[in-house]
C-alpha cells in the first residue's frame, strides 16, 4: 500500500471475480489511480479514487497491488476473467413497472423509472416529484424495495417508479437483481416508457457506466445530474450542455434536497415521451460481441473519455472537510469511542429534553382527559357501566399513555434524522466492522441493523443489500435484537421510575446491549446452525458529509411520527380493546360479573399470573409485568398501554389529585411500576428493572417483523429465530438479576 496521501496506480487485485467486479464498479479498476487517505477502526483504510471515497478492509488491501506514485489520471481497466454469476433471467411479470402495485396513477399513464447507483438521491428526487415520504438516508442501500407514485407535469399524470440502487445491471445482490428484472427481464410492453438515470456529479463515472448499460436496451433516457454542490466542493465541475451533446440525451441538473431545478425535469421527460424509442446503443454488434470483460473494458474506457471531455477541475486534488472529519470519525483509536459518545448524547438529550412534556401529558390524560371522558359517558346515561370502564380505563388510559411519549419520539426522530442526513451513520459500518466480522458478517451488514434502531420491519427488507444469501439469513435472524423505537417509551418509563435522572444513560446502555446481543446471537448461530458462514471483507462506498436541510429533517421526523401515531391509533386501539375485554371477563365463577371484576381475577389476570413464575428468577414475576410482555408480542408500544390499563383499573374511582410535578420523580404509572418491581424482586428493583429491559430488548419480534421475516427467510427460520430470541433474552435477564442482586 502506498504511503498516506500519495497516489499510486492499482495494478492487479488478486481477488475472486465477483469482488473484482464490484471494486471496478466502485472505481477501483486496474490502472486507476488510488490515494490511501487514512486508517480505519476495522484495520483497513479509506482510499480515494478521484472524488470517490471507499472504505476497504485490510484483507482486500493486502491483495491490491499498487505501483509507483502516479499523477491522477482517468485511465481505466477491467476485471480479469473469472466465475462471475450471470444476470438473473427469472421472469417477473407480476412485478413489472406497469403493474398495479398500489400506485395512484391512472391506468395507461406513462411510466418513468428512476435508476441510479446507491446514494445518488433517487428516493429524495422521487419524494420531490410525487410528494411521497419514502425513506431516505445518506448511506448506500437506503432503498431496497420498489416505490411507486404519481407525478403531474402540465396536468399530465406520470407514474413514477423508484428502483433500488444498482452499481450495474449485472446484479450481485437481491436489490440489484430486482432493478435489472424491472428494466430488462420483462416483456418490452411492460418496461418503463422513460428511464431517468440519476447520476451524481461527484462521481459521474459510476453513473455513466450504469447509463451505458441501460442504453444497450433501447429505452428513452433522461439523465438527472445531482450533487453538483458536493462535486464543486471537491474541485469538480460538470459541463451539463457538453455532457448532453456528447450523450445525445437530455441532461438536467437538479438538487432534490432543496427542490432546485426539479421544475426543469418535467418538460424534459415530456419531450422524451413524444419521441420514438431509440435504437439500442451497443458498443459491439450482436454478431461480433467479444467476451464480457472486453465489453466492460470498452465501457470503462468510453466513460473515461466522456468524463475527460465534459468535466474540469477547478483546482488540484485535495482532501475535503469530509476527509478531515473521517480521520477522527473512522479512526482506529477514536472511532468507536466517538460513536458511543454521540449515541449517549442523543439519548441524554432525548430523555432530558422531553421529560417535562411527557410528564405534563401524563398528568393531562390521567386527570382532565380521563375525568372528562367519564363525565361524557355519564352524560349519555352510561356512567357506572362497562362502557365507562372501556372508555376511561381502556381507551383513555391505554392510548393516552402511548401518546404521552409523542414529545420523546419527536426529539428522537429528529436527532436520528440529523445523524442520517449528515452521513455520520454510514460510518458506523466502518467503526464496527471488526465486531461484525467476529460473528461472520461483513461490516456493511451493520447498515440494516442501524435501520432496525428505527423499525425492525424495514431493517429485515434492508438485508437484501447483502450479496451472500447466508449473510442475509444471519442478519435477518439478528435484526430483532436491535432495539427499535417502539421500545424507547418503555425504556424511558422504566428508566425514569427506577433509575431517576440516570434514565438517559440507561437508554444508552440498552442500545449498547443491543449490539452485544447481536454479537452473542450471531456467535450462537455460527456455532450451531450456520457453521459455514464466513465474513466478507468490507468494501463500502462512503458518502460525503452534508449539511442537513431543515425541511428534509422536518419531513423525515413528521413521517416517522405519523407512523408512530398510526400504530397508537391502530394496532394499539385493538390491543387496548382486547386487553380490556379480557380484563372485564371473570376467570372463574364467583370472581364477579362482566365489567365488574378485579383485573387480577379476570381472564387477563389469570393468564398473566400463570405465566408470572417463569420470570420470578429474573426478578419481575409480577402479573402486571408479565401481562404487559404478553401483549408486547403484538407491538412493543402496547407494553405501556397494558400497564396503564391494568393500573388504572386497580385505582379507586376518585383518586386523589397528583401533587405538583417533580422532574426527579417518576410519573404516576412509573411509581406503580417501581413498587411492583420492588415487591417482585424482594427489594432489588434496580437489578430487576435492568433484567426486564434486557428481556424486552430481545425477547421476540413484533407481529409485523415476524411477518417480514417469514417473507424473507421462511417460516422455519423465523421460528428458529424467535426461539433463539426468547431463550437468549430469558437467560440474560436471569443472569443479570441473580448477579445484580448480590451487589445492589
Rg (Cα) of the chain, in Å, rounded? 28
SS3 157: strand
> Does 145 belong to an annotated binding site?
yes
Largest CA distance in the chain: 90
Cα 79 from Cα 77, distance rounded (Å): 7
Nearest to 193 by CA among 275, 122, 124: 275
Residue 68 is labelled as binding a ligand: no
Ligand-binding site membership of 143 (annotated)? yes
The annotation status of 744 as a binding-site residue, yes or no, is: no
Site of grid cell 466502485: 26
Q: What whole-number distance in Å separates Cα of residue 62 and Cα of residue 167?
A: 24
Burial class (CB in 10 A: 0-12, 13-18, 19+), 542: buried
Residues paired with residue 198 on neighbouring β-strands, in sequence order: 116, 224
Q: Is 364 annotated as a binding residue?
A: no
Query: Residue 161 and residue 603: Cα distance in Å, rounded?
Result: 49
DSSP letter at 399 equals I
Containing 296, the helix (H) or strand (E) segment is: helix 292-310
Q: Which three cell numbers stand for residue 227?
A: 450533487
How many angstroms separate the CA atoms of 651 and 74, rounded? Answer: 75
Cα four-point dihedral sign 344, 347, 348, 349 = positive
Q: Among residues 637, 700, 573, which one has the least CA distance to residue 408?
A: 637
Residues 697/481, Cβ–Cβ less than 8 Å? yes
User: Is 107 annotated among the ligand-binding residues?
Assistant: no
**Of the candidates 610, 567, 201, which has an alpha carbon nearest to the alpha carbon of residue 402?**
567
Residue 225 burial (C-beta neighbours within 10 Å; 0-12, 13-18, 19+): buried
Under 8 Å between Cβ of 219 and 191: yes
Looking at residue 562, what DSSP letter applies? H
- Among all chains, which residue has been given the C-alpha cell 449517549? 344
Indicate the pairing of strand 52-56 with strand 236-238.
unpaired
Q: What number of CA atoms fall less than 13 Å from residue 624's CA on the CB side?
A: 21
162 in a labelled binding site:
yes
Sign of CA dihedral 285, 289, 293, 294: negative
CA distance 263 to 266: 6
408 is in an annotated binding site: no
The answer to whether 251 is a known ligand-binding residue is no
**DSSP string covering 299-352, please?**
HHHHHHHHHHHHEEESS-----HHHHHHHHHT-TTTHHHHHHHHHHHHHHHHHH
Cell of 122: 433517487
Number of neighbouring beta carbons within 10 Å of residue 497: 23
Please report the DSSP string for 204-221 in residue order: HHHHHHHHHHHHTT--EE
Is 636 known to sit in a ligand binding site?
A: no
End-to-end CA distance of the chain: 52
User: 540 and 119 in contact (C-beta within 8 Å)?
Assistant: no
Q: What is the DSSP letter of 256?
A: T
Grid coordinates of 206: 459510476
Do residues 443 and 400 touch, judged by C-beta distance below 8 A?
no
In DSSP terms, 221 is beta-bridged to 195
In whole angstroms, give the CA distance from residue 197 to residue 113.
Answer: 8
Is 631 labelled a binding residue?
no
47 labeled binding residue:
no
> Does the annotation place 456 within a ligand binding site?
no
Q: Is 120 annotated in some ligand binding site? A: yes
Is 127 known as a binding-site position? Answer: yes
Distance CA 725, CA 250 (A): 53
Q: How far apart are CA 365 and CA 375, in angstroms?
A: 14
CB 252 within 8 A of CB 225: yes
Annotation: binding site: 116-123, 127-128, 130-131, 141-145, 162-165
Annotation: binding site for GTP: 116-123, 141-145, 162-165
Annotation: binding site for Mg(2+): 127-128, 130-131
Amino acid at each position: 500500500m502506498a504511503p498516506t496521501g500519495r497516489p499510486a496506480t492499482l495494478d492487479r487485485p488478486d481477488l475472486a471475480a465477483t469482488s473484482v467486479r464490484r471494486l471496478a464498479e466502485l472505481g477501483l479498476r486496474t490502472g486507476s489511480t488510488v490515494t490511501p487517505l487514512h486508517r480505519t477502526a476495522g484495520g483497513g483504510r479509506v482510499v480515494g479514487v478521484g472524488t470517490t471515497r471507499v472504505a476497504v478492509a485490510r484483507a482486500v488491501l493486502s491483495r491490491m497491488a499498487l505501483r509507483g506514485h502516479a499523477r491522477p489520471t482517468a485511465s481505466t481497466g477491467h476485471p480479469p476473467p473469472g466465475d462471475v454469476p450471470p444476470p438473473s433471467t427469472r421472469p417477473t411479470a407480476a412485478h413489472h413497472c406497469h403493474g398495479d402495485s398500489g400506485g395512484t396513477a391512472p391506468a395507461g399513464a406513462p411510466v418513468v423509472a428512476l435508476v441510479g447507483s446507491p446514494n445518488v438521491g433517487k428516493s429524495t428526487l422521487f419524494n420531490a416529484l410525487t410528494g411521497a415520504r419514502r425513506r431516505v438516508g445518506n448511506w448506500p442501500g437506503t432503498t431496497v424495495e420498489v416505490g411507486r407514485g404519481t407525478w403531474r407535469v402540465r396536468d399530465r399524470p406520470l407514474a413514477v417508479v423508484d428502483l433500488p440502487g444498482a452499481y450495474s445491471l449485472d446484479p450481485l445482490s437481491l436489490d440489484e437483481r430486482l432493478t435489472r428484472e424491472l428494466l430488462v427481464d420483462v416483456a418490452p410492453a411492460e418496461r418503463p416508457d422513460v428511464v431517468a438515470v440519476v447520476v451524481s456529479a461527484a462521481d459521474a463515472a459510476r453513473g455513466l457506466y450504469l447509463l451505458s448499460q441501460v442504453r444497450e436496451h433501447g429505452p428513452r433516457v433522461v439523465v438527472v445530474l445531482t450533487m453538483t454542490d458536493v462535486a464543486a466542493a471537491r474541485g469538480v465541475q460538470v459541463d451539463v450542455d457538453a455532457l448532453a451533446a456528447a450523450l445525445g440525451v437530455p441532461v438536467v441538473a437538479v438538487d432534490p434536497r432543496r427542490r432546485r431545478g426539479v421544475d426543469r425535469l418535467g418538460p424534459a421527460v415530456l419531450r422524451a415521451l413524444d419521441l420514438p424509442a431509440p435504437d439500442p446503443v451497443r458498443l459491439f454488434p450482436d454478431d461480433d460481441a467479444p467476451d464480457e470483460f472486453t465489453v466492460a473494458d470498452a465501457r470503462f474506457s468510453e466513460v473515461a473519455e466522456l468524463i475527460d471531455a465534459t468535466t474540469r477541475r477547478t483546482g488540484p486534488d485535495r482532501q475535503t472537510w469530509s476527509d478531515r472529519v473521517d480521520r477522527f470519525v473512522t479512526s482506529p483509536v477514536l472511532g468507536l469511542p466517538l460513536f458511543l459518545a454521540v449515541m449517549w448524547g442523543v439519548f441524554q438529550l432525548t430523555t432530558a429534553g422531553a421529560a417535562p412534556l411527557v410528564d405534563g401529558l401524563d398528568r393531562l390524560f390521567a386527570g382532565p382527559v380521563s375525568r372528562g371522558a367519564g363525565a361524557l359517558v355519564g352524560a349519555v346515561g352510561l356512567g357506572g357501566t362497562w362502557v365507562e370502564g372501556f372508555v376511561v380505563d381502556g381507551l383513555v388510559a391505554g392510548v393516552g399513555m402511548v401518546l404521552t411519549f409523542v414529545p420523546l419520539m419527536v426529539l428522537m426522530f429528529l436527532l436520528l434524522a440529523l445523524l442520517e442526513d449528515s452521513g455520520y451513520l454510514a460510518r458506523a459500518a466502518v467503526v464496527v466492522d471488526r465486531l461484525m466480522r467476529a460473528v461472520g458478517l461483513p461490516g456493511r451488514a451493520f447498515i440494516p441493523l442501524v435501520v432496525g434502531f428505527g423499525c425492525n420491519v424495514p431493517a429485515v427488507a434492508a438485508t437484501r443489500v447483502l450479496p451472500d444469501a447466508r449473510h442475509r439469513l444471519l442478519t435477518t435472524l439478528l435484526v430483532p435484537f436491535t432495539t427499535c423505537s417502539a421500545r424507547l417509551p418503555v425504556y424511558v418509563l422504566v428508566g425514569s421510575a427506577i433509575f431517576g435522572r440516570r434514565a438517559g444513560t440507561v437508554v444508552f446502555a440498552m442500545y449498547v446491549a443491543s449490539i452485544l446481543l447481536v454479537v452473542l446471537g450471531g456467535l450462537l448461530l455460527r456455532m450451531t446452525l450456520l457453521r459455514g458462514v464466513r465474513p466478507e471483507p468490507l468494501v463500502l462506498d462512503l458518502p460525503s458529509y452534508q449539511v442537513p436541510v431543515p425541511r428534509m429533517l422536518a419531513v423525515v421526523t413528521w413521517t416517522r411520527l405519523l407512523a408512530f401515531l398510526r400504530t397508537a391509533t391502530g394496532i394499539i386501539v385493538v390491543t387496548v380493546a382486547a386487553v380490556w375485554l379480557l380484563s372485564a371477563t371473570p376467570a372463574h365463577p364467583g370472581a364477579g360479573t362482566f365489567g365488574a371484576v378485579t383485573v387480577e381475577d379476570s381472564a387477563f389476570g389469570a393468564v398473566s399470573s400463570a405465566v408470572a413464575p417463569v420470570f420470578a428468577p429474573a426478578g419481575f414475576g409480577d402479573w402486571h409485568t408479565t401481562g404487559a410482555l404478553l401483549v408486547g408480542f403484538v407491538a412493543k408500544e402496547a407494553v405501556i398501554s397494558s400497564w396503564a390499563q391494568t393500573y388504572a383499573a386497580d385505582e379507586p374511582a376518585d383518586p386523589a389529585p397528583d401533587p405538583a410535578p417533580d422532574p426527579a420523580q417518576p410519573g404516576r404509572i412509573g411509581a406503580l411500576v417501581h413498587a411492583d418491581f420492588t415487591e417482585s424482586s424482594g427489594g432489588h428493583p434496580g437489578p430487576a428493572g435492568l433484567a426486564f429491559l434486557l428481556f424486552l430488548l430481545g425477547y421476540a419480534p413484533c407481529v409485523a417483523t415476524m411477518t417480514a421475516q417469514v417473507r424473507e427467510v421462511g417460516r422455519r427460520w423465523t421460528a428458529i429465530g424467535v426461539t433463539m430470541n426468547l431463550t437468549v433474552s430469558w437467560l440474560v435477564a436471569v443472569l443479570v438479576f441473580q448477579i445484580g442482586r448480590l451487589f445492589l
